[in-house]
Amino acid sequence: MRFRPGQSEVAEYKGGLLAVPAVPGAGKTTVLSWLAARLISEGLPRGSKILVVTVMNSAVANFTRKIGDWLEKRDLPRGVGFEVRTLHSLALQIIRQRPDSALLRDDFSILDGGYRERLVEEIVDRWIDRNQQRWQAVLKISESHMRFQQTLEGWRNRTVDMGKEMIRRFKALGLSPQEAAAQSSGDNFYAWTAEFYREYQERLAQLGMVDFDDLLLRAWRMVEDDAELALRLSAAWPYIFEDEAQDSNPLQQALLLKLAKGSGNLVRVGDSNQAIMGTFTDSDPGLFRDYARRPDVVALPMLQSNRSSTDIIDLANGLVHWCCNEHPIPACRQALEPNYIQPVAADDPFPNPSSPGYTLAVRSYEDFEEEILEVSKHAAGYVQRNPDKTVAILAPTNQLVSDFRQALTDMEAPFYEICQYPAERRKTIDDLQAILNFLANPGDNGLLVAALERLVPQLVDVAPVRGYLETVPAEQLLFSEPSWPQSLREFELWVDVQAQLEQLKVWLEALHLPPDILVLEIANDLGLQQQELALAQKIAVDIKQWLAIYPNWRLPQVAEEVRRLTTSFLGAANVFFDRWGYSPQPGVVNLVTAHRAKGLEWDTVYVVSVTSNDYPGLPTDKIRAEYGWLPEEIINPVAVARAEMQGRDTVAAIAAAREELLCERLRLLYVAITRAKVNLLLTWHKKGKYGRQRPALAIKELEKTMEVKAGAK
């Protein structure tokens, strides 16, 4: 293996505390995997393994595959001497060893994300009903205002979001409901969220469940309080590698440092310039920066990258330089670390890509509709001319991804959507939902047709057959001696429809089975395999849990709960599908948010809607965390609640939160730019849905860099 400068030093690691700041495309996964295989081949203590902790399930699969490949090259078995875990699966593994120490029953269950969100919403809604006057009093709008009801709904959503964020924050700081309540005083946002937290934890205790944040909190408490357990785990994992360390939160860092204390061997790899998860999690990019600067930590940067052309590298470095030295907001000069990307050596076996001319540009459009249409046309034309190239449109929001999806659909251009819940991952859930809805209400022809459309997809386009099925009573279609009109037999799909009517009849006759067993029978009859079967089994297990909590439920209640928890099941689907990973598809337009694009790369990238609304650069730009119907001193509820918890000035906290969002958006733009290998187009629009738009502050600086570089060519 030929290593580059930076990589070679990391590959020679033998022990101790190590920080590896790695720029985009530096090959961190390859080097860490090679290092793991090397340490395994040199011999680990008997019964021990190298532990690799990462964020995404897809990264688990990637590390497992790459370490296995390197082990095979050393004539060692693929699965020996290491384990790769997400943080939550690591916490669960620790808790399973001694659930009594974590104050849990042996049969405890985990509340997943979708169910957690629903539970928080229910708790907040009940609290609002009990405290209506107290809750409304903070708004600067009267009941006579024409937008009062709309404002209330928006404030309700913001209150739910505040509850979710603060519950997560309490747990990230290791606070119990009692400790959180003890710190509250008066009637403020912090006191409200402490009440939400108490009710939420009481509800979890009643259900005998924990959420993912509880797993981490309880695992940390176990290793903190149980010296023997901590020592045993340190011996089991003499080397710990952490990937994406810039996304650590305080509790995650504390847990890994504790686990590594016995051996003293911890390798943390990350890029503070790609810390873009603060909007969604309690991650703190300052933690990895501070770790790398500790006197007992060796820092070995990996700065060479072969992902992008030198033009794109220069543009990304130009953004870093401007941000660190010239940004008009002093706080934003700390947003990006001066870790400048270096191209690889000219004789590198995998050199940086190049293009015959300068292929970077900024383009503006009159309005967002024109931007969507013109960028879609440009991308569709490019993939038609270059079917062997990979292309992506990076949007700042899921809604804008949907807008581009519609535009590409209208022009019949090939595309693939890398969204939170891709369509192919919904199929099993949607199929089971439709079937259960019908079985719960078998006299409803609309539900019958909906189920048949899932089983025979072509039925959607055959109006005569659908019309017949919608008008003839369902009982007659299923249980009477069939006398089908001759006209129906002329349609090729009619044979399939008849077969699926028989299948629905079989399932109706199986309604005596418990609903969880019924789901498994349906999955078996549908012939589900691999990820789809795993998802059906997950749904069945959840149904069994619900029935233990609500023994009086029947199929209608179960079907409704499956519908309500679609998001939860989609999250599980991502886990099952992500094990197979994602590789950018050539010849299609890949659609993705800029956040979800982290870790991916394409030959050509369009970064769209680079406006001051979506990439704010000044405190006067639109800040999405702020709610305009609240007074200025409490306009950002989450920032206010956090400040109240710490006894800080809320106005200063709002200003600090605003600046941190500006910093994160600068890092998001950096991530978007560094996804491109050769071609990059940054676009913005002058008029949006809600009025005039300005280009993001950084656009002007990027244009200057492009003009100089293009002129030089």
The first and second tokens of residue 382, run together, are 């490019």
The structure's pTM equals 0.82
* Residue 1 reports pLDDT greater than 80: no
Looking at the fold, whether 116 and 191 belong to one and the same domain comes out as yes
- Note whether residue 551 is domain-resident: yes
| Helix/strand/coil for 156 | helix
Higher pLDDT, 185 or 455: 455
Percentage of the chain modeled with pLDDT above 70 = 93
Q: Mean pLDDT throughout 350-360?
A: 92
Looking at the fold, whether 224 and 77 belong to one and the same domain comes out as yes
Beta-bridge partner residues of 298: 18
d(C-alpha 241, C-alpha 336), whole Å: 24
Give the pLDDT confidence of 131-179 residue by residue, as tens digits.
999 999 999 988 888 889 999 999 999 999 999 999 999 988 888 999 9
- Note whether residue 336 is domain-resident: no
d(C-alpha 605, C-alpha 391), whole Å: 6
Looking at the fold, whether 509 and 649 belong to one and the same domain comes out as no
Looking at the fold, whether 469 and 570 belong to one and the same domain comes out as yes
Query: What is residue 579's predicted lDDT score, i.e. its pLDDT?
Result: 45
Looking at the fold, whether 571 and 659 belong to one and the same domain comes out as no
Query: What is residue 244's predicted lDDT score, i.e. its pLDDT?
Result: 93
DSSP code per residue over 210-274:
EEHHHHHHHHHHHHHH-HHHHHHHHHH-SEEEESSGGG--HHHHHHHHHHHTTT--EEEEE-GGG
What is the DSSP code (8-state) at residue 303? -
Query: What is residue 602's predicted lDDT score, i.e. its pLDDT?
Result: 96
Higher pLDDT, 530 or 612: 612
* Residue 383 reports pLDDT greater than 60: yes
Kindly list the distances between the CA atom of residue 393 and the CA atoms of 396, 397, 413, 425, in Å, as whole numbers in the listed order: 10, 12, 13, 21
Looking at the fold, whether 179 and 242 belong to one and the same domain comes out as no
Query: What is residue 279's predicted lDDT score, i.e. its pLDDT?
Result: 63
Query: What is residue 108's predicted lDDT score, i.e. its pLDDT?
Result: 66
d(C-alpha 402, C-alpha 397), whole Å: 9
Residue count of the chain, please give it.
713
Q: Which domain holds residue 23?
A: 7-96+216-305
HEC secondary structure over 627-662:
CCCCCHHHCCHHHHHHHHHHCCCHHHHHHHHHHHHH
* Residue 420 reports pLDDT greater than 60: no
Looking at the fold, whether 244 and 272 belong to one and the same domain comes out as yes
Q: Mean pLDDT throughout 346-353?
A: 94
Percentage of the chain modeled with pLDDT above 90 = 58
Give the pLDDT confidence of 50-87 residue by residue, as tens digits.
999 998 766 888 899 999 999 999 999 998 999 999 88
462 CB-near residues (< 8 Å, 6+ apart)? 491, 493
Looking at the fold, whether 220 and 296 belong to one and the same domain comes out as yes
Q: Mean pLDDT throughout 189-214?
A: 90
* Residue 43 reports pLDDT greater than 50: yes
Looking at the fold, whether 525 and 448 belong to one and the same domain comes out as yes
Pairing relation of β-strands 50-54 and 82-86? parallel
Domain boundary among 207, 238, 267: 207
* Residue 387 reports pLDDT greater than 60: yes
- Note whether residue 542 is domain-resident: yes
Query: What is residue 469's predicted lDDT score, i.e. its pLDDT?
Result: 85
Query: What is residue 102's predicted lDDT score, i.e. its pLDDT?
Result: 57
What is the DSSP code (8-state) at residue 312? H
Domain boundary among 179, 207, 235: 207
Range of weakest confidence among 19-33, 145-159, 449-463, 640-654: 449-463
Looking at the fold, whether 190 and 245 belong to one and the same domain comes out as no
| Helix/strand/coil for 1 | coil
Give the pLDDT confidence of 685-705 residue by residue, as tens digits.
999 877 899 999 999 999 998
* Residue 423 reports pLDDT greater than 60: no
Q: Mean pLDDT throughout 661-686?
A: 96
- When divided into structural domains, the chain yields a total of 4
Which H or E run contains 17? strand 17-21
Residue 280's pLDDT band (boundaries 50, 70, 90)?
A: low
Give the pLDDT confidence of 577-607 residue by residue, as tens digits.
544 456 788 999 999 899 988 888 999 999 9
| Tokens 């699966």 belong to residue | 89
Kindly list the distances between the CA atom of residue 297 and the CA atoms of 20, 54, 263, 267, 300, in Å, as whole numbers in the listed order: 10, 20, 14, 10, 10
Looking at the fold, whether 404 and 429 belong to one and the same domain comes out as no
- Note whether residue 561 is domain-resident: yes
Q: What CA dihedral angle connects 160, 166, 171 and 176, to 10 degrees? A: -100
Mean pLDDT, the chain, whole residue set: 89
- Note whether residue 348 is domain-resident: no
Q: Mean pLDDT throughout 354-375?
A: 94
Domain boundary among 176, 207, 238: 207
Query: What is residue 573's predicted lDDT score, i.e. its pLDDT?
Result: 57
Residue 611's pLDDT band (boundaries 50, 70, 90)?
A: very high
* Residue 553 reports pLDDT greater than 90: no
The enclosing domain of 276 has a CATH number of 3.40.50.300
Looking at the fold, whether 224 and 188 belong to one and the same domain comes out as no
Residue 110's pLDDT band (boundaries 50, 70, 90)?
A: confident
Query: What is residue 207's predicted lDDT score, i.e. its pLDDT?
Result: 78
